[in-house]
């Protein structure tokens, strides 16, 4: 993993993913700890201190974990909550970890990042008008390769790449795992994480990851609603509850849909504090995608129904919460289907 040649460390990433297939119960928690805490157990006596990983190894471990999550898909459900708990540790600010120095951004840093990112994506066709057809083909291929890399990572951003990697892994988890697995325990925490990162962070990697997570949260709402309306036979059971929609609409949550919506709108309009000095098109695009999905959910009445039914259920449970609502799954789904149809 420390090798500078890409084909060597990519082989290392592939090896880790294969090991996770062989023994996921053992490998996935170790890999998650390596990403979030930057430590690796030596596997010896309990008194042995863990091995502190270098930053570049930690970043590559995050890439490996992301690949493992994509590879396992819905089979990851049994590890999802423990994995989310560990990744939330890695999402905390680098300033809170004394062993990791903090990178201080300035306006000049931000301008240089924008200019150098633009020059990275520019190819011959952006400066030369009369290119031959074979040159145009080569130029297009080169541009596609650069676009697929996601852009360069600058030295001032390296210490935030772990936060971003954890956010990307969280996004991938909620994309593939049923919401009834994670929403009762982590739904409100994930919403709060999106809001705080978009409002308080200035660095590109974290803001991009938070915008992606916000988009996937609304995608979960859309996915759950479609599953219930398209499969009525399966809807009358507790596993099909649209719990993420209920978390977003819950009046007991300070960090809810109203606050997330306002945060995304501020990011798109450029009025938020963290976005006042520069604009990152990738972050804005993901925020706009999240708003588009949310608008569709609102137009289709998904939030209205979730709010009405969850409110009635919470009123019947004085100590109510999402975990209490799970016990009323049949009634919730019956009401939801009735309203939507």
Per-residue model confidence (pLDDT) at position 203 = 83
User: In this structure, what DSSP letter does residue 159 have?
Assistant: G
Q: Using CB atoms within 10 A of its CB, is residue 17 exposed (0-12), middle (13-18) or buried (19+)?
A: buried
Across 199-208, 292-301, 303-312, least confident range: 303-312
The predicted pLDDT at position 222 comes to: 92
Question: Residue 275: what pLDDT?
Answer: 46
The per-residue pLDDT for 198 is: 92
Give exposure, 25-43, as e/b (b: 16+ Cβ within 10 Å).
eebbebbbbbbbbbbbeee
| Domain residue spans of the chain | 6-92+158-340
Region 51-63: what's the mean pLDDT? Answer: 89
The more confident residue out of 328 and 312 is 312
At 289, is the pLDDT very low, low, confident or very high (cuts 50, 70, 90)? very high
Residue 99 pLDDT > 70, yes or no?
no
pTM given for the model:
0.81
pLDDT (average), residues 218-247? 74
The CATH number of 6-92+158-340 is 1.25.10
Helix (H, G, I), strand (E, B) or coil at 39: strand
pLDDT band of 225, cuts 50, 70, 90: confident
């Amino acid at each position: 993993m420390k090798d500078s040649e890409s084909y060597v460390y990519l082989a290392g990433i592939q090896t880790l993913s294969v090991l996770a297939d062989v023994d996921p119960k053992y490998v996935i928690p170790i890999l998650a700890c390596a990403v979030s805490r930057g430590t690796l157990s030596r596997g010896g006596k309990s008194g042995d201190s863990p091995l502190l990983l270098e930053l570049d190894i930690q970043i590559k471990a995050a890439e490996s974990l992301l690949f493992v999550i994509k590879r396992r898909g819905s089979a990851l459900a049994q590890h999802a909550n423990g994995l989310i708990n560990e990744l939330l540790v890695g999402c905390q600010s680098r300033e809170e970890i004394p062993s990791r120095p903090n990178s201080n951004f300035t306006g000049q840093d931000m301008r240089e990042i924008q200019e150098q990112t633009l020059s990275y994506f520019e190819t011959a066709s952006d400066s030369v008008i009369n290119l031959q057809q074979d040159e145009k083909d080569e130029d297009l291929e080169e541009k596609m390769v650069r676009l697929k890399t996601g852009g360069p990572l600058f030295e001032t951003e390296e210490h935030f790449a772990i936060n971003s990697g954890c956010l990307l892994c969280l996004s991938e988890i909620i994309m593939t795992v049923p919401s009834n697995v994670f929403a009762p325990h982590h739904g409100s925490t994930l919403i709060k994480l999106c809001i705080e990162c978009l409002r308080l962070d200035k660095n590109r990697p974290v803001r991009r990851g938070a915008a992606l997570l916000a988009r996937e949260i609304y995608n979960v709402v859309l996915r759950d609603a479609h599953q219930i309306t398209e499969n009525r036979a399966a809807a009358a059971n507790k596993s099909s509850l649209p719990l993420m929609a209920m978390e977003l609409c819950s009046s007991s949550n300070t960090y809810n849909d109203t606050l997330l919506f306002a945060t995304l709108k501020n990011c798109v309009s450029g009025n938020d504090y963290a976005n006042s000095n520069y604009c990152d098109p990738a972050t804005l695009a993901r925020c706009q995608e999240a708003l588009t999905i949310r608008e569709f959910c609102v137009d289709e009445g998904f939030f209205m129904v979730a709010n009405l039914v969850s409110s009635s259920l919470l009123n019947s449970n004085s100590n109510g919460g999402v975990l209490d609502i799970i016990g009323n799954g049949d009634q919730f789904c019956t009401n939801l289907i009735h309203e939507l149809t």
